[in-house]
Structure 1
């Protein structure tokens, strides 16, 4: 039964995304942009796949104009929307087959070579392209609804729900994550922190000294707290408790920050896990670190510098004077040569 804009607005609002009827009218007239949350809420309200709302219903031979003005056939536009390549390049070979979509979705045409089918409870079939999960919902003998999908690697993922609408919402969220490039295998987060951190540490092109520091920081501080826990089970509160425990255990605030922040420690491991899509978000975000008290720097007086230089062996006296006047670090001072100094411009170059 067709819905009025008022009825659709009520359904969308019930999904936790408040939306008025005139807002939906503006969306239909392309006078308002739609973000991912709007797209998912509309898809759930219409019992449709999110990507089915992004292109109009049409047959393969019809032409569509994309946002940038490019005119392509509907078949190529749908194929591009589902990860099948550029819309201006047709696939190599392959026949076109019409398949039945889920209730509420719009019929389209797909190439046979990219098609896999999973039957739903009503006999419907969902087309899947590379990068798009195959999905279905089926009512179980116990009355619950089983939602499942296969990812691009062919692995099946399933969850059971009391209500069909909850199952559909979960599948729509998966579809939205695929469209936005945020999809990750839910099972990937089962790897333990120790296993992933060791794989990450050995793959990093660290210098030998950095490798030693990374192994030491992880082994001494991180593994006792997180080593045997799955990455997906580590929460921000766990990391916060760990940071607080380091300080209470007698570690200096500056050392706590180094253990947490540097490129070869805990924060870097979780950042890499997010980049690899092992976990959706890093638990290190917004973790409060101990304040490091700032010490006031009191420079030496001219008389103190002269006294210090006089107390040094003759060959090192110039080192003291130059260091006090240029604020170079010890290693830079020891590497300073005559060719690094321009006496006419009163400049020195650090290499």
Structure 2
């Protein structure tokens, strides 16, 4: 089991935190020092999750401990770019996940999406749709003759 020791500098004014553990639980002692207790606690959790061994380089980097990766160890290859989810894709997925919908309900939803939503928002990435964009879209629907009651979602 890893432990955390409070270690003052020689001046006594500043404190470091040392995480120490027995490799594999019963092997030789190993340890790392940190300036902040919160970092020491996070690192201790990683050591314990890895069976009382130093976490692998990928895990160190992932959890913000890249400075602890030994020199000469290659960093993992970057992950491929995540696919951008558009509003249209999200809406189609949502329609497909409705539980036992009546066919007429699905038809009406799809019709309204095709007529009122997809032309303005369909191909936009979800992350780009802001409150302002939604207000502009709603105003466009009202300007097109729809009543405010139909364009403002119920809360």
What's the counterpart of residue 48 of structure 2? 110
1:199 to 2:133 alignment: no
What's the counterpart of residue 63 of structure 2? 134
**How many residues align structurally?**
124
When residues 256 and 117 of structure 1 are mapped into structure 2, their CA distance, relative to the original with a 3 A threshold, is same
Tell which has more relative contact order, 1 or 2 (C-alpha 8 A, sep 6+). Answer: 2
Gaps of 5+ in 1: 5-55, 62-94, 120-124, 128-132, 139-149, 158-185, 263-351
Q: Contact 1:193/1:229 (CA < 8 Å) preserved in 2?
A: yes
In 2, distance between residues paired with 1:221 and 1:115? 55
In 2, distance between residues paired with 1:226 and 1:110? 47
Q: Contact 2:18/2:31 (CA < 8 Å) preserved in 1?
A: no
In 2, distance between residues paired with 1:227 and 1:202? 16
Q: Contact 1:194/1:228 (CA < 8 Å) preserved in 2?
A: yes
Q: Contact 2:18/2:33 (CA < 8 Å) preserved in 1?
A: no
| CA deviation string 1:251-289 (max 9, x = no partner) | 1222223xx449xxxxxxxxxxxxxxxxxxxxxxxxxxx
In 1, distance between residues paired with 2:131 and 2:91? 18
What's the counterpart of residue 100 of structure 1? 32
| CA deviation string 1:292-340 (max 9, x = no partner) | xxxxxxxxxxxxxxxxxxxxxxxxxxxxxxxxxxxxxxxxxxxxxxxxx
Q: Contact 1:116/1:134 (CA < 8 Å) preserved in 2?
A: no
Residue 243 of structure 1: CA displacement?
0.5
1:223 to 2:155 alignment: no
TM-score computed with the length of structure 1 as normaliser:
0.29
TM-score computed with the length of structure 2 as normaliser:
0.58
Gaps of 5+ in 2: 1-8, 68-75
Greater radius of gyration (CA): 1
In 1, distance between residues paired with 2:116 and 2:33? 53
When residues 187 and 254 of structure 1 are mapped into structure 2, their CA distance, relative to the original with a 3 A threshold, is same
When residues 99 and 118 of structure 1 are mapped into structure 2, their CA distance, relative to the original with a 3 A threshold, is farther
